Amino acid sequence: MQPKADKYSYRIVWSEEDKVHVARCLEFPSLAAHAESADLALKEIGDVVQGVLDWMQKDGEKMPEPLGLKKFRGQVSLRMPPEVHRNLSIKSSEEGVSLNQYILSKICIA
């Protein structure tokens, strides 16, 4: 099966320093392309990613799974200093919610 670059996730940002749009592929963070327009930067990074995918397939390399196709469990293991854990537990109790709900309310971005 031929891997497709259009299944991957891209982000384009403006670089004021370089006066260009810089495009990156989230699944391949070391790759970047830049252009005068966002559309051209997206095309350029797509071409770069497709070239890498073709090369990886030819060499039998394992390709990263596109984020859009990846299945998430909805569970994250979080390590923190014991004192932070204690303080969060106290705050969640004060608010009358579970520790999980308290932390989720603090990190959710709508």
Element (H, E) at 32: strand 28-35
Q: Which residues are bridge partners to 61 per DSSP? A: none
3-34 pLDDT tens trace: 799 999 999 999 999 999 999 999 999 999 99
Q: Quick one: pLDDT at residue 108?
A: 83
- Judge if pTM exceeds 0.75: no
What order of strands is seen across the sheet that includes strand 10-15?
10-15, 20-25, 28-35
pLDDT 10s digits, 49-107 = 999 999 999 999 999 999 999 999 988 899 999 999 999 999 999 999 999 999 999 98
Closest residue by Cα to residue 46 from 1, 4, 13: 4
Rounded Cα distance, 97 and 27, in Å: 36
The span from the CA of 58 to the CA of 81, in Å, is: 46
Helix (H) or strand (E) holding 48: helix 38-58
CA dihedral 20, 26, 28, 31 (to 10 degrees): 10
| Tokens (6 digits) for 74 | 């909805």
